[in-house]
Amino acid sequence: MNLTEYAEFDGLGLAELVARGDVEPKELAEVALQGVEVVNPALNAVIETFPERAASLTREGLPDGLFRGVPFLIKDLGMTEEGVRSESCSRLAEGLVADHDTELMVRFRNAGLVNLGRTTAPEMGYSTTTESLFHGATRNPWNTGRITDGSSGGACAAVAAGVVPVAHANDGGGSIRGPAACCGLVGLKPTRGRTPTGPDHGEFLSGLAIEFAVTRTVRDSAALLDELAGPGVGDPYVIPGPDHPYRYAVDSRPDKQRVAFSTTPWFGPDPETEIVAAVEATAELCEEMGHEVVEASPNFDGEAFLKATHDVWCAHMAHGIDHLAGVVGRVPGPDNLERCTWACYEYGRSLKAHDLLRGFDVFNAVSRSVAPFFCEFDVLVTPNSSMLAPPIGTFDQNAPDLDAWGWTEHLFSFDTFLPLYNTTGQPAITLPLHQSEDGLPIGVQFAARFGGETTLLRFAAALEEALPWVDRRPTIHVVHPCCPKPAS
């Protein structure tokens, strides 16, 4: 199998080849690693590979999951694999090696996925771009002068460029959906509690963050959710599962739904014209598909919500950095943390317990305001971000002139529509339905009520059929014989 043949298949497609005996897992792994060599000089998305794993792969040595033998990459943030570095893309944690598998890593492995390396993220994950001082800028395969968003920017760049069909990602404020939109991928953030975050966390980032993946096709996201979903031992609660496997939702089409759409942000700037047009065109398509479509949006105090998000994130950053420092035996400081990270760390350490509880009270008020809206509507359609992927350097985590609050305001001036669903716990999915005049992907976000992944996946599959994107390929891709040098 060569790279051109390999890139024709999504994850389930490659797994079907393995199941039929048409290709061996070892061959798939070798081709994926070749793909890293082809595109990574231009993208800087993969920071480590494991070629020794490819050399020893056999079909018999892999679990019989839905993705048996499919190449895969893990993000250097959140989930860990025993014996693999876990540095949070920070100089503070340089050289740190995980001493255990998290439950999610076990499930990825049981699904048959083969981890071949680590992808980039911003330092500690608190950024809407993937440009750490530790590893440098990760570049968008559609235009290497543009950002991939964050924090799953390396994962999304690698999947969009055809290196792997599926890659681990997580989302605490939009970190699956934002990069998926910038890179032209499917980005599903499942319902809070749908996938496990143990044993290190009961509720990752106080419930804001959830672990999952990014894919090129809706069916891969659905099947992967089947493989990963369900509580882990010791999880704090169990949420209801679906009536049928999620992958079956892709084969059925939604009944008539009540669909709301809005391009009005709850805080921050109004979206750019092309993004507004993409959402409006999507709403028109939904109406043509037989759904009842209304322009409407839930109401809540956006500024209070943003301040609470800032406090909760900074408190967790302070706690997490202190934990990492204790493990690696280093003292946190400006010499090993980027300036905005350091500012958020210092602010987080200044917070009192009642400050955090006040933030949780705001979150509760927001959730109680938003939930009734989703009793009236099945789906809410919004922009993903307020602007097209901006140039590299727009969001500088090492900027000398931003304090902690300034950094938070700067970040969420871009991904304005994403963090709400981290707070409410609802599922949301980004789909690459449109492109800008100059060829950049435009993602559109769809949200459903708590536990409503089946609704979203049915909806997404119908839209994927109506506006297919799988044949679109970025400038930097494994099928191209050579890659241009990164734009300045």
Q: How far apart are CA 391 and CA 150, in angstroms?
A: 14
Torsion angle, CA of 368/372/373/375, rounded to 10 degrees? 140
3-state DSSP percent of the chain in helix, strand and coil, to 5: 40, 15, 45
Nearest alpha-carbon partner for 90 in 412, 388, 451, 333: 333
The Cβ-side half-sphere exposure at 394, using a 13 Å CA radius, reads 22
Following DSSP, what letter does each residue of 114-131 receive, concatenated?
EEEEEE---GGG-SSS-E
Count of all residues that appear for the chain in the document: 488
Q: How far apart are CA 118 and CA 45, in angstroms?
A: 9
Query: Are 103 and 198 in contact, with CB atoms under 8 Å apart?
Result: yes
Query: Within its chain, how far is the Cα of 75 from the centroid?
Result: 10
Catalytic residue list: 75, 151, 175
The Cβ-side half-sphere exposure at 24, using a 13 Å CA radius, reads 11
21 φ/ψ sector (left φ>0, alpha ψ -120 to 50, else beta): left
Query: Are 154 and 140 in contact, with CB atoms under 8 Å apart?
Result: no
